Structure 1
Amino acid sequence: MNKPLKISERFDWTLCLILFLFFLISCITIYSGQASGQYGNINFVLSQIKNYMIGVVIVAVVMYFDSEQIKRMSWLLYGIGILLLIGLFIAPDFLVPEKKGARLWYDIPKLGSIQPSEFVKVFLIIALSKVIVDHYEKFIVKTLKTDLFLFLKLGIVTAVPLVLIIGDDLGTALVIMAIFAGIVLVSGISWKIIVPIFGLAGTLAGTIFALVIYAPEFLEKYLKVDTYQFYRIYSWLDPVGHKQGAGMQLYNSMQAIGSGQLTGKGFSESQVYIPDRHTDFIFSVIGEEYGFIGASFVIGLYFLLIYHITKTALDTKDPFNTYICVGIISMITFHVFQNIGMTIQVLPITGIPLPFISYGGSSLMGNMMAMGLIFSIRYHEKAYMFGSDSKYLAQKAN
């Protein structure tokens, strides 16, 4: 039997290095992004450093708990998340002020604004993983009926936060859908169920998109949808025609990234003005200042992160951990694809930040919480990687 690994050997140094590189990229790019003077003398870099420090504490706390403890807390965390979302509707204005036409943040004195939906995404991943594991412990024999039952349970658990979020925050709602889709695809549910349902959902989405483009009056008259929301789609399809209005950010973003060419203009040499470029449009700063090479490095770093989490999912012995890894992969992948896509006209603008790089406390802390789960999986699984799996099996038995 092998000796237990030391703490330093159980720690995920690879993930730590990846996050450190994201930290450096974030601070350097935010410094350039805030140079436009849009927000006066506010030092977003210092605030982001503080956010990362809090994120490290969150990672340490989450890492302390093993998979069995996290599994036992899953419904408590999910319930807290739902209550926080409900609170956004009923809390007084001084606690939940309206910002940019939506009530998405709690304003807490001396702490700042907290967006609960960023944490709900992680709580949802844990809850969905718990649902699947419990289902297969109860239904050992797998049939179409049990698979459909599992799909319905996953759908209900996902629908609750989705309904509470989708009205004011379409971007986060899309992330939740991506998490649901990713976990369902690896849940073991029969493709005879998945293909028709996902096909129907895709057809419905395509129909709605076609109505937005060709028959917006129908949606306004019969579904009572405000057509002003469609300008985000129109400006995406024709940013040049809307560059003085709704398409200004997208048009300027493409100009900035294109002007960066191969090597970029250099550190803090951005010339194209883009509102809020230190947040959702931070990739345009990377593209303009560091060009194709810098943008490719950042994208490559995300690929490395996804590969590392995928390897963790394949190495783990606990299915619960595997589903958590898949949920996190789905969340991060969609964030990256959507954020970068919206800066180059591949996808519509939805206000989704670039993980670990965009300025924002709640977003970063939610992502660091997710990374804490990966650290936990690596740390605790290596703790009982002896010559046999006896300790692991004993833990599962308890």
Structure 2
Amino acid sequence: MSQKKNTTSPYYQGDLIFILAIFILISVIAVYAAKPSIALSSYPVKQLIFFILGISIVFFFLYLDLEQIEKLSIYIFIFCILMLVILKFSPESIAPEKNGAKSWFQFGSVTLQPSEFMKIGLIMMLSSVISKANSKDSRSTREDIHLLLKIAGISAVPVSLILMQDAGTAGICMFFVAVMTFLSGVNWKLIIIVAGTGIALVLLVLFLVIHFPDFSQNVLHIKQYQINRVLTWVDSSQQTANEKYQTKQAVMAIGSGEIFGVNINNLKVYVPEGQTDFIFAIIGERFGFAGCTFVVIMFFFLIYRLVLLIDRIHQYNRFASLFCVGYAALIVIHTFQNIGMNIGLMPVTGVPLLFISYGGSSVLAAMIGFGIVYNTSCQLKKYEGYMFK
């Protein structure tokens, strides 16, 4: 009795397509609902254009194999570093300063935030370097130390450049670097030493910021708005009027949505930056508790899919597996920070909700990562098909 052959194309990944389609639909609706004026009515159209460009990037990566993508890592990483350096020294006419820092290029109505792309470039570069190291079973302690120094050296420059712009984004980078280091197979004793030292330094800086803010600003050169964010996180009573207003409006919007939300034309709570940082509050009012829960479940579904992919692709391609580790960590920290900020549990930062918040740089950077993940899933299907032929 002949066995029926599976004729499904390896390039068709139904679950990933479904997740992306849902995110695009929710994003466009939420961005439309967030419009505080008629002038913002073009935002959902622009958001849709960003996604179309992002989908074209996904198709571009499908023409490459994983080895070619790995070879591109160094060039993408260097390009992103150069963009951050150029941003630092650009005139204010093309790089406007906000809160004492330059975070994006401004070309008329078009903005570009290099730090968003640097996250993907850093994940790619670390994945390439870690994947080239010997397997953890055959590495000596000296080789582990050498690998840790490589990871630290690669991460230091971009994280330092981003820290000059936004401590929140720099913290996100440090989070996924830590996750990738932990899963790189480095001896756990070395990780404890490094992690313990890092945590001690962070606690020391937090102590100085909380108890000696003037010293932190004058000697450590921590900007006042960054000090304010730490102080308001520790003690919400120290929030500025604007931060209190943003958080209050976000919580009110989520609460006003009740179980199933309200009609898109009946949104009553104005949320500042609703189309970007506080998009989850808009979702809460438009779709209610059910809609918020659905969005969280979709993120869990994506992360679960990435975890499965990490485990299955590892034996075929370590670079792809490590990239999925970093990308999953990026999604986790973005989702946790953004939703936490919207419900008043985390400090107000400029961290977007990936795939949902309005913004060309955020969407395109997320789609670059998604393109590599999609390619990885396609290649896995090919590998497993060859194996069982």
TM-score normalised according to structure 1 size: 0.89
The answer on 1:259 being equivalent to 2:263 is no
For residue 136 of structure 1, what is the aligned residue in structure 2? 134
Code of the aligned partner of 1:283: F
The answer on 1:18 being equivalent to 2:49 is no
For residue 395 of structure 1, what is the aligned residue in structure 2? none
The verdict on how the C-alpha distance between 1:103 and 1:227 changes in structure 2, with shifts beyond 3 A counting, is: closer
Assess if the C-alpha contact under 8 Å between 2:254 and 2:281 holds in 1: yes
The verdict on how the C-alpha distance between 1:299 and 1:6 changes in structure 2, with shifts beyond 3 A counting, is: same
Partners in 1 of 2:93 and 2:155 — Cα distance? 30
The verdict on how the C-alpha distance between 1:365 and 1:3 changes in structure 2, with shifts beyond 3 A counting, is: farther
Give 1:294 shift.
1.3
The answer on 1:50 being equivalent to 2:44 is no
Tell me the SS of whatever aligns to 2:266.
Answer: coil
The verdict on how the C-alpha distance between 1:225 and 1:80 changes in structure 2, with shifts beyond 3 A counting, is: closer
Query: Which moved further from structure 2: 245-254 or 259-268?
Result: 259-268
The answer on 1:122 being equivalent to 2:105 is no
The answer on 1:273 being equivalent to 2:270 is yes
For residue 331 of structure 2, what is the aligned residue in structure 1? 332
Alignment of 1:1-398 (within 5 A): 8-34=9-35, 36-37=36-37, 40-99=39-98, 101-108=100-107, 112-136=110-134, 141-239=138-236, 242=239, 244-316=241-313, 317-388=316-387
Assess if the C-alpha contact under 8 Å between 1:261 and 1:291 holds in 2: yes
Tell me the SS of whatever aligns to 1:189.
Answer: coil
Give 1:237 shift.
4.5
The verdict on how the C-alpha distance between 1:226 and 1:54 changes in structure 2, with shifts beyond 3 A counting, is: closer
The verdict on how the C-alpha distance between 1:181 and 1:380 changes in structure 2, with shifts beyond 3 A counting, is: same
Task: Flag structure 2 segments of 5+ consecutive residues without an equivalent.
Answer: none
Tell me the SS of whatever aligns to 1:49.
Answer: helix
Code of the aligned partner of 1:44: Y
Query: Which moved further from structure 2: 220-229 or 128-137?
Result: 220-229
Superposed CA deviations along residues 57-98 of structure 1, whole A, max 9, x for unmatched, are 011112221111111222111111111111112334443333
Assess if the C-alpha contact under 8 Å between 1:309 and 1:329 holds in 2: yes
Give 1:50 shift.
0.5
Give the number of aligned pairs.
Answer: 385
Partners in 1 of 2:271 and 2:219 — Cα distance? 37
Code of the aligned partner of 2:181: V
Code of the aligned partner of 2:141: L
Superposed CA deviations along residues 287-320 of structure 1, whole A, max 9, x for unmatched, are 2232222111100000001011111111212111
Partners in 2 of 1:184 and 1:326 — Cα distance? 10
Superposed CA deviations along residues 356-384 of structure 1, whole A, max 9, x for unmatched, are 11000110000000010011112223234
Superposed CA deviations along residues 249-277 of structure 1, whole A, max 9, x for unmatched, are 11221222233333333434332222111
Partners in 2 of 1:118 and 1:349 — Cα distance? 18
Code of the aligned partner of 2:288: G
The verdict on how the C-alpha distance between 1:66 and 1:106 changes in structure 2, with shifts beyond 3 A counting, is: same
Assess if the C-alpha contact under 8 Å between 1:171 and 1:350 holds in 2: yes
The verdict on how the C-alpha distance between 1:357 and 1:49 changes in structure 2, with shifts beyond 3 A counting, is: same
Tell me the SS of whatever aligns to 1:297.
Answer: helix
Tell me the SS of whatever aligns to 2:248.
Answer: helix
Partners in 1 of 2:321 and 2:225 — Cα distance? 42
The verdict on how the C-alpha distance between 1:268 and 1:336 changes in structure 2, with shifts beyond 3 A counting, is: farther
Tell me the SS of whatever aligns to 2:387.
Answer: coil
Task: Flag structure 1 segments of 5+ consecutive residues without an equivalent.
Answer: 391-398
TM-score normalised according to structure 2 size: 0.91
Superposed CA deviations along residues 93-133 of structure 1, whole A, max 9, x for unmatched, are 443333564322233468x2221221111111111011112
Assess if the C-alpha contact under 8 Å between 2:243 and 2:348 holds in 1: no
Give 1:240 shift.
5.9
RMSD of aligned residue pairs (Cα, Å): 2.5
Query: Which moved further from structure 2: 264-273 or 274-283?
Result: 264-273
Assess if the C-alpha contact under 8 Å between 1:158 and 1:180 holds in 2: yes
Tell me the SS of whatever aligns to 1:113.
Answer: strand
Partners in 1 of 2:225 and 2:118 — Cα distance? 29
Query: Which moved further from structure 2: 54-63 or 237-246?
Result: 237-246
Code of the aligned partner of 1:380: Q
Query: Which moved further from structure 2: 266-275 or 77-86?
Result: 266-275
Partners in 2 of 1:52 and 1:92 — Cα distance? 30
Query: Which moved further from structure 2: 145-154 or 283-292?
Result: 283-292
Partners in 2 of 1:133 and 1:224 — Cα distance? 36
Partners in 2 of 1:231 and 1:97 — Cα distance? 22
Tell me the SS of whatever aligns to 2:39.
Answer: coil
The verdict on how the C-alpha distance between 1:135 and 1:3 changes in structure 2, with shifts beyond 3 A counting, is: farther
Partners in 2 of 1:236 and 1:201 — Cα distance? 20
